[in-house]
């Protein structure tokens, strides 16, 4: 057994923890451990303040250790530490579902609780399949995702997802899945601000898939309104509307994966508000509890939900759920997070900061190796040229330099993704981009 230890602390053995989505051997040779967090900053194991440029993993939208959320979690665990979600309930779950339904526009008024984004995605895909069957349309079994889509790591999510490395080592995946083309083009969209002008027509590819398989075999299309994890790809203007029109025309359900865009990231409560397009199902997680407890939620429209509420009343309508669905502690964290967002006007704050954020991000244009810059709401993607034969290495080195200089960023391939907590100040935005610019300049 490996006995690698952290410098200066021979009690901590790093061998046993097999880290997710991490180059384990590289990490354990030079670990980056975080020991506490408050507001905009982490404290590292070597006692340094590190600005959180990514809201954890796009989840700590209101900043870290917010007292209201901390107190709610402490109180909840002492009052009702657990309650089964099957055939029993607790009041908080119903209160939270009602509040979420009120926040979401249109008739996406029914909320199914999960514990993560991946579970929300698999839940939404299963609801879509079961919806058609409940209506006697059982030939509708095909699912359509998109290239460069990220929908978590469940078998459903990786099947509809479009990231080769997440798919290629895991077998044949779900049958009957097609992919729309991704919406990114360096040629037509380079350095565009917000939603690119070019690309709405890419939604028409859905007509090709419909022509190939016939609409009567297709259950649902799932897309992220703004692809986040694959490098910040805001949707082309009009693209999502077109996708809605085509799905509607053919009786295909449209699922928005709002695990990143939900809870204010684009300056509106959901991307549904931001783009004015109403899907049939919406998946969320992350910001729901401000990252403090694992929790996700799937929103279903009245039409979808009501298709299940048929038949004898004593029968279970959907054979699906999790031991920790609507967990009381997570529920309390979510209610306190929604209170915090609302009382501090944090979604509005994102909308106000967005123009400054956009200017600051695009000011990096012209730095060495910067190939493209994209932004929307409080999100930015800065794409670097890859070194030949070493995809991802340059951005990784920038990430390490930033961390050493006191800034956490996230990289995917050679794309840097930034998504800070909404409490970031204008001064901190300037500091974030200064640190990043210095790291980019120092990286060959
Ligand atoms: N969908 C999207 C759009 C995501 O960004 C993510 C996580 N980054 C997921 C699903 C999966 O969420 P989780 O890691 O909580 O399973």
ipTM of the complex: 0.99
Atom of ligand 1 nearest to the CA of 229: 5
Does residue 14 have a pLDDT over 60?
yes
What is the crossing angle of helices 328-343 and 346-362, to 10°? 70
Give residue 4's pLDDT.
Answer: 38
Burial class (CB in 10 A: 0-12, 13-18, 19+), 19: exposed
Residue 9, pLDDT above cutoff 60: no
Return the best residue to mutate from 61, 161, 229 for the ligand 1 pocket (most ligand atoms within 8 A of CB). Answer: 229
Per residue in 338-354, pLDDT (tens digit) is 999 999 999 999 999 99
Percent of the chain with pLDDT over 90: 97
Query: Environment class of residue 339 by beta-carbon count within 10 Å: exposed (0-12), middle (13-18) or buried (19+)?
Result: middle
The band of 302, judged by pLDDT with boundaries at 50, 70 and 90, is very high
pLDDT for position 6: 58
Residue 110 has pLDDT above 80, yes or no: yes
Instruction: Work out the pLDDT band at 2, boundaries 50, 70, 90.
Output: very low
For residue 163, the CA-to-ligand 1 centroid distance in Å is 13
Which residues lie closer than 8 Å to 353 by C-beta, 6 or more apart? 378, 422, 424, 426, 429
Q: Which atom of ligand 1 is nearest to the CA of 261?
A: 3
Give residue 10's pLDDT: 53
Does residue 8 surpass a pLDDT of 70?
no
CA distance linking residue 332 with residue 337, whole number of Å? 8
Q: What average pLDDT does this structure show over 19-43? A: 97
**Residue 5, pLDDT score:** 44
**Is residue 21's pLDDT more than 60?**
yes
**How far is it, in rounded angstroms, from Cα 114 to Cα 394?**
37
pLDDT digits (tens, 9 = 90+) for 169-222: 999 999 999 999 999 999 999 999 999 999 999 999 999 999 999 999 999 999
Confirm or reject: Cβ of 148 under 6 Å from ligand 1: no
Distance (Å) from CA 48 to ligand 1 centroid = 29
Position 44 pLDDT exceeds 80: yes
| Ligand 1 neighbourhood includes 156 CB (under 6 angstroms) | no
**Cβ 364 vs Cβ 432: under 8 Å:** no
pLDDT in tens, 217-264: 999 999 999 999 999 999 999 999 999 999 999 999 999 999 999 999
Question: For 278-292, what is the mean pLDDT?
Answer: 98
Residue 207: what pLDDT? 98
How far is the centre of ligand 1, averaged over its atoms, from the C-alpha of 146 (Å)?
15
**Mutation pick for ligand 1 pocket among 120, 122, 152 (CB with most ligand atoms within 8 Å):** 152
Closest CA to 228 of 95, 71, 378, 392: 378
Ligand 1 touching residue 256 (CB < 6 A): no
Q: What average pLDDT score do residues 24-32 get? A: 96
Average pLDDT (397-406) is 98
Q: Is 116 in the pocket of ligand 1 (CB under 6 A)?
A: yes
**pLDDT averaged over every residue in the chain:** 96
Q: What is the dihedral of CA 184, 188, 189, 195, to 10 degrees?
A: -80
Residues 6+ away with beta carbon under 8 Å from 401 = 438, 439, 442, 443
Instruction: Give how far Cα 259 sits from Cα of 61, 307, 318, 338, Å.
Output: 12, 25, 23, 15
Q: Is there an atom of ligand 1 within 6 Å of 233 CB?
A: no
Residue 325 DSSP SS3: coil
Q: Is 67 helix (H, G, I), strand (E, B) or coil?
A: helix
Residue 154 CA: which ligand 1 atom is closest? 16
Does the beta carbon of 54 sit less than 6 angstroms from any atom of ligand 1?
Answer: no
List, for residues 312-323, the tens digit of each pLDDT value: 999 999 999 999
Going from the Cα of 117 to the center of ligand 1, the distance in angstroms, rounded, reads 4
Q: Is 151 in the pocket of ligand 1 (CB under 6 A)?
A: yes
**Residue 79 CA, ligand 1 centroid: distance in Å:** 30
- Residue spans of the domains in the chain: they are 32-62+345-442, 70-343
* Ligand 1 in reach of 152 Cβ (< 6 A): yes
State mean pLDDT over 293-306: 98
Please tell me the residue having the least CA distance from ligand 1 atom 8: 229
Residue 415 scores a pLDDT above 50:
yes
**Biggest alpha carbon distance in the chain?**
68
Residue 258 Cβ inside 6 Å of ligand 1? The answer reads: no
Smallest CA separation from ligand 1 atom 13, residue:
117
- pLDDT higher than 70, residue 7: no
CATH topology of domain 32-62+345-442: 3.90.1150
**Which mutation among 118, 122, 297, 419 tests ligand 1's pocket best, with the greatest number of atoms within 8 A of CB?**
118
Q: How far is the CA of 243 from the centre of ligand 1 (A)?
A: 22
Query: In percent, how much of the chain has pLDDT > 70?
Result: 98
The stretch 374-401 carries a mean pLDDT of 98
Q: Is the dihedral of CA 128, 167, 202, 418 positive or negative?
A: positive
Q: What SS3 class is residue 124? A: helix
| CATH fold of 70-343 | 3.40.640
Q: What are phi and psi of 43, to 5 degrees?
A: -110, 130
């Amino acid at each position: 057994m490996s006995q690698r230890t952290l410098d200066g602390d021979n009690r901590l053995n790093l061998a046993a923890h097999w880290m997710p989505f991490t180059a384990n051997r590289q990490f354990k040779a030079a670990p980056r451990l975080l020991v506490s967090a408050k507001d905009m900053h982490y404290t590292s194991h070597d006692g340094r303040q590190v600005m959180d440029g990514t809201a954890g993993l796009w989840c700590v939208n209101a900043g870290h250790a917010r007292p209201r959320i901390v107190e709610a979690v402490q109180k909840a665990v002492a009052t009702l530490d657990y309650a089964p979600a099957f055939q029993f309930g607790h009041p908080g779950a119903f209160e939270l579902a009602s509040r979420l339904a009120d926040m979401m526009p249109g008739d996406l008024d029914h909320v199914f609780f999960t514990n993560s984004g991946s579970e929300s995605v698999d839940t939404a895909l299963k609801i879509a399949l079961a919806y058609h069957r409940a209506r006697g349309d059982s030939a509708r079994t095909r699912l359509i995702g998109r290239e460069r889509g990220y929908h978590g790591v469940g078998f459903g999510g990786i099947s509809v997802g479009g990231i080769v490395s997440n798919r290629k080592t895991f077998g044949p995946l779900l049958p009957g899945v097609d992919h729309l083309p991704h919406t990114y083009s360096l040629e037509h969209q380079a350095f565009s601000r917000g939603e690119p002008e070019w690309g709405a027509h890419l939604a028409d590819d859905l007509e090709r898939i419909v022509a190939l398989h016939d609409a009567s075999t297709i259950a649902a299309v799932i897309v992220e309104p703004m692809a986040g994890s694959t490098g910040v790809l805001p949707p082309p203007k009009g693209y999502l509307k077109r996708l809605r029109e085509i799905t509607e025309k053919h009786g295909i359900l449209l699922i928005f994966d709002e695990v990143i865009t939900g809870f204010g990231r684009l300056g509106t409560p959901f991307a549904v508000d931001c783009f004015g397009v109403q899907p049939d199902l919406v998946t969320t997680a992350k910001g729901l509890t401000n990252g403090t407890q694992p929790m996700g939620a799937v929103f279903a429209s009245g039409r979808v939900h009501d298709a299940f509420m048929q038949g004898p009343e004593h029968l279970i309508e959907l054979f699906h759920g999790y031991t920790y669905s609507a967990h009381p502690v997570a529920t309390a964290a979510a209610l306190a997070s929604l209170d915090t967002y609302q009382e501090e006007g944090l979604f509005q704050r994102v909308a106000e900061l967005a123009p400054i954020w956009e200017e600051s991000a695009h000011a990096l244009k012209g730095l060495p190796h910067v190939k493209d810059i994209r932004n929307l709401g409080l999100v930015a993607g800065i794409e670097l040229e890859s070194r030949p034969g070493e995809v991802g290495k340059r951005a990784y080195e920038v990430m390490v330099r930033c961390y050493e200089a006191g800034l956490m960023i996230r990289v995917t391939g050679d794309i840097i993704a930034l998504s800070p907590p909404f409490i970031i100040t204008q001064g901190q935005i300037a500091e974030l981009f200064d640190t990043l610019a210095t790291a980019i300049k120092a990286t060959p």
